[in-house]
Structure formats: structure tokens, C-alpha cells
Structure 1
Amino acid sequence: MSKRASRQERQQEIVDHVVAHGFASAADLSELTGVSLMTVHRDIGELGARGILRKYHGGVSAQPSTVFESSSDFRLHTNVAAKNALAAEAVRFISPGMSVMFDDSTSALAVARLLPEIGPLTVVTNYRQITEELRAHEDIRLIGIGGEYSRTHDSFLGLPAQEMVGSLSVDLTIQSTSGITTDMTYHQEQEIVLMKRAMLEAGKVNVLLMDGSKVGRNALHRHTPVSQFDHVLLTGPIEETMLAAMREHTDIQLVEVD
């Protein structure tokens, strides 16, 4: 085994461990991988620079913050029941023959997994996970949005992707984001915000899916006002006063989670 391959495998082991547990100390990772603390610090420095994990004093985290979005791998394993409940409700807006655009959120992926049951559809997305999910289904016409590949988000971003989205018009867009207050939505990264805004412009009807962990939370960049979405689907618990304030701006639906 080459030295480079060994380092790659070790770093993947670190990523898998941190994604599974949310965070880990450098000492934990040194014991896990059997290498020195100095080597572990180099590894987590590289992973932090690539945006896969967030380095902090003494260790590394996969948890989101106001300026750091978690990787796709981490988000795939969090709040799964809530995302599935939101997806089951969101498919009510989709009927055969429609065109639907999805962002690179794992909530959107949960919806995409239900689409083969609906029938012929045109699906547009920049999220590799969704293209992998739907590529074998003949009833799904799949349009992939190209651009610069982001390993952190497992999606395609940048100016080419934004320009492609700007050339399209779809019946429905479905997206999620990192935080929502009574009147505003947020995300940590401006490049993601620009893609989500472009998708909003492309949709005749826009639906936002948000699990309860994101409600009342903000992030570094303002995405768009809540009023720009035609429907907002949320899981609780959410205070009644907050729900009432949000309902002044658009249709808010509270979804129960089994």
C-alpha cells in the first residue's frame, strides 16, 4: 500500500468517525487510527481546509455553526425521521407530468426518493445524491446542473451552475436551508445562497422544508425572506407565538413526526 493511499484511508476513517459521533478530540482520533497526535493534527488540518470537517481547539467537529455548514455525509444521518415526514407531506405538491427542481439538501433527497411512485416527471438538480437515486428510473427525465464539484456538499456549484438554473423555468422548486426565523431564512455560505436564490427564481411554486432543529436559528448569510416561499413545511416542536408570526408571511404547515 502506498503512503498516499494509507493517508487517504486514514483520513476517511477520521471522517467516518466524526460524522458518526458529531465531534472527536485529537487524542480520540490518534487512538482510533494508531498514529501520532502530530499526524492527526495534520490530517484534521487538511480536512478542515477542504471544508469536510470543522477544526477547533483540541479536536474536530462535523456539527454546523453559524459560519460552517455540515458536510453532506453528516447531514444524511441527522434528523432522518423528520426529513422523511417532511418528504411524505411535500409529495402532495407533485403530480405526474410536472417539472421539479431540487437543491442539494438532504431534505430534498428524501422527497426525491418518493418520486418513482408518482409517475413521469422532469427532475432538475445539482445534488449528486439525487441523480444517483433517480438515474435508473425510466419515468424520470433527469437534468443535472453542472458546475464546479463541491466535495463538502456533494453537489455542483459556481457561476456555470447558476447560469444554467437561470435559463430554466420549472413548475415547482423544493429546497431547505440552515436556519429560519419568523421572517427570514439563512445559510452559512454565500455560494450556496446564490444557488438557492437562483432556484427560487426558476420556480413557479416554491416549497421550503425545515426540520425543527433549524427553526429559530440563523447563520452568517441571509438567504431570502420567508414570504418568498409559497409553502413552508416544518417539524416541531415550535412555539405557537412563533408559528403565528411566521403565518403572517406565508402558508406554514406543521408536520408530525412518527
Structure 2
Amino acid sequence: MTTEQRPGDDVADTSAPGVRRNRPGQRQSEIAEYVVQHGSISANELAEMFHVSQMTVHRDLDELERRGVVRRYRGGVSAQASSVFESNVAYRLRAGRDAKAAMARHARTLIEPGMAVMLDDSTTTLELARLLEDLTPLTVITNFLETIKLLTGVRGIRLIALGGEYAPTHDSFLGVPCIEAIEALRVDMLFASTSAVSGNYAYHQEQEIVLVKRAMIAAARRSVLMVDHTKLGKAALHRLAPLSDVDLVVTDTKAPEDALLEMRENAVAYVAV
């Protein structure tokens, strides 16, 4: 160590085979990518992987947590959701792809040309958006930037973007302006998802998301909630709405029988696809 280097400085052992010089921005991006792919990892493992000190790793993780990419826990970091933490959109885009695709295919059968359809900012409804091109003419309303980019310029789709304050963690627009825009509309169908379903209620970790989704349900003649098996039997911090507020719950074939029984007992219409 030279006199200019101190413990915790951003220094890499570049003599090691395959190890590149670690710049903080590059390293943080690679840490984020790893956590998004693998779900969670300890700080010790990250320090060894990137050939930096524990102090440097903790600074990186503090910055990634500040940006909403990961959540910290004692000794490590995770991109997975908890009852109070919603996963970053990058993690959600990778998770449960097969189940999302199956639910999207079923949801598509519920849409007819000429409808006005609202999609929330979930990665589940993004899969449905990929299937809309041949259902035109169609009006699609959404606050999810990924869906907006996907449908921009698609022939036959009239696209209405819901504005508001941009939330990087969700890659969507939220807040009072978004809610007011939703309240000014009346749509044929809403397709939405959420983080958790337990008993007769849907839940979400963040109150801003809850308020937007409630406004969407109120603005739709018919609402469809798309939730894969990993979200059933779980609760989150905020109660979003009773399942009686939606017309149909769409889940996948891995849904636990006790969760399906609970919906039947509460007279909730559902389909497992």
C-alpha cells in the first residue's frame, strides 16, 4: 500500500487474472447486475469477488440502496421483495417469466378490438402489452415507461401515457398528477398486478403505488388482477383492496391449493393457467 492509499480506498488487485481495475460506477453497476440475477449475496462475498475492502463494498451498497436497486440486511444485500420493500424493476423483469407469459396469454383472450384498456406499472402487464399488436384498434392507458416505449408507434394502438412524478425504482409515473389523470378516465378493462395476496385482500409495500392502483380499479368497468404463485399467501405493509373489488384473479398452475381454496371460500373468481 502506498502512502496515498488508505484502507477502504477503491483499489483493485489488477494483477489477478481476469480482474479489471475497479471504478466505483462500474463496480456498482456490476454489483447491481449480480444481485438482480442471483437475488442476494453477502458483503463478504462481494468484497472477495471485486477485490476491494469491506468499507468500499458497504459504501457501494449504501449507494445502491439509496437508488432503490437493492435492500440491505445484516451482512448482505438482496434484490428480492420483502413486506416493506418492492423489488427494483430490473429484478422484476427477470423474475417469473414463464408464469407471466402464461397469465398474459390468458388475459389477452379477455380483450376485444375497440376497447380502452389500462395497464399498471407491473412487469406482469408488460408481458400482456407485448401481445396487443394484433388486437387493434385499441386504446391503451399506462403509467409504466417500459410499456409506453414498447407501444409507441404501434399501428392501431392509441396510446395514452399517465404522467406524474417519475419513480426510478419502478420506472413509472406516480403521485397526485397521475391519480388525477386516472380519475378523469373511464376504461373498459384494467389489468394490474401487486406484490402480495392473502385472505381476501391484495397488498403492496408502498403507499404511493397503492393509491395509484386503487384509482385504476375505480376507473375500470372490469378489473383483472394478475398474480403468480409466489405472491399468494403473502402480505405486505399496505392493504391495497379487497379481492371483491376485482372481477377476476389470474394466477399460474403452481398456485398453492390452500390459496385457491381461500379464494373459493371468499367467492373470488379466479383462473389458474
1:107 aligns with 2:124: yes
Structure of higher RCO (CA pairs closer than 8 Å, 6+ residues apart): 1
Give, in angstroms, the shift of residue 240 of structure 1: 4.1
> Deviation at 1:32?
3.3
Task: Tell me the distance in 2 between the aligned counterparts of 1:13 and 1:149.
Answer: 24
Conservation of the 8 A alpha-carbon contact between 2:226 and 2:250: yes
Q: Which secondary structure state, in structure 1, belongs to the residue aligned with residue 263 of structure 2?
A: helix
Alpha-carbon spacing, 1:8–1:96, altered in 2? closer, same or farther (3 Å): same
Distance 2:39 2:183 in 1: 36
Aligned: 1:174 with 2:165: no
> Percent of aligned pairs with the same residue?
48
Structure 2 runs not aligned, ≥5 long: 1-9, 11-21
**Distance in 1, Cα, partners of 2:258 & 2:74:** 38
TM-score (norm 1): 0.93
Kindly provide the amino acid, as one letter, of the partner of residue 144 in structure 1: A
- How many residues are paired up? 252
Q: CA deviation at 1:237?
A: 3.1
- AA partner of residue 30 (structure 2): E
What is the CA-CA distance between 1:220 and the residue it aligns to?
0.7
The answer as to whether partners of 2:70 and 2:77 remain within 8 angstroms in 1 is: yes
Pick from 3, 22, 25 the counterpart of residue 8 of structure 1. 25
Report Cα offsets for 1:172-202 as digits up to 9, x if no partner.
1000001112311100111110111011011
Q: How far apart are the structure 1 equivalents of 2:68 and 2:232? A: 24
Superposed displacement of residue 232, structure 1: 0.7
The superposition leaves residues 127-151 of structure 1 with CA deviations (integer Å, 9 ceiling, x where unpaired) of 1111111113121111111111111
Summarize the alignment of residues 75-94 of structure 1 with structure 2, pairs less than 5 Å apart.
75-94=92-111
> Equivalent residue for 2:269?
251
The two structures have a TM-score, normalised by structure 2, of: 0.88
Q: Distance in 1 between matches of 2:26 and 2:175?
A: 29
Task: Give the Cα separation in 1 of the matches to 2:23 and 2:160.
Answer: 37
2:232 maps to what in 1?
215
Report what 1:66 is aligned to.
83
Deviation by residue 1:27-75 (Cα, 9 ceiling, x = unmatched): 2222333332211101111211222100111111001111111011001
Paired amino acid for 1:94: I
Map Cα deviations across residues 223-249 of structure 1 (whole Å, 9 max, x no partner): 000100001111133454542431333
Correspondence 1:134-173 to 2 at 5 A:
134-173=151-190
